[in-house]
Amino acid sequence: MVTTVGTESNLVDTLNNLIELDYDAIEAYDAAIDRLDSAEYKARLKEFRDDHARHTRDLGAAVKELGGKPAQQGGAKSLLTRGKVMMADLLGDGAILQAMKSNEDDTNTAYERAVKAAEGTPAAATALQSGLADERRHRAWIEQALSAR
């Protein structure tokens, strides 16, 4: 699935769409945690889910600083991100991690675009750069876990 987040013409819209994407990610992580067998994987994914929750708060503060109203929930994409995980459950932990990697690919792309869009806007730049670092760490761990299987 390819995201369009980060292509908006307005930074507040970009940030709000990113907040929605983070809420969607939280739901996908909850679905994955509920379905994984590995206690190690569950623990790591709980950490990642908590990062996404922090992103919603940090980006929400940036939206307020820019004069906007922060998004309070996920978007239509939630069904797709959770659905991939639910379908992967039929094939076990590896497939669930693969579904989560696909979701993280989208969040990485969205954060990369948003960082560029926020250049010169301190209110958003710090939160976005921190979020991008988290997203890259999430994806790297999932890739490592998949290659070790």
Q: What is the pLDDT along the chain (149 residues), one digit of tens a residue?
A: 567 787 788 999 999 999 999 999 999 899 899 989 999 999 999 999 999 999 999 999 999 999 999 999 876 655 555 555 555 555 678 888 998 999 899 999 999 999 999 988 988 999 999 999 999 999 999 999 999 97
Query: 120 in the Ramachandran plot: left (φ > 0), alpha (ψ -120 to 50) or beta?
Result: left
pTM: 0.88
- What does the pLDDT read at residue 62? 96
3-state secondary structure the chain: CCCCCCCCCCHHHHHHHHHHHHHHHHHHHHHHHHHCCCHHHHHHHHHHHHHHHHHHHHHHHHHHHCCCCCCCCCCCCHHHHHHHHHHHHHHCHHHHHHHHHHHHHHHHHHHHHHHHHCCCCHHHHHHHHHHHHHHHHHHHHHHHHHHCC
Cα–Cα distance measured from residue 16 to residue 147, given in angstroms and rounded to the nearest whole number: 34
- Determine whether domain 11-147 maps to CATH 3.40.190.10: no
Q: How far apart are CA 80 and CA 4, in angstroms?
A: 15
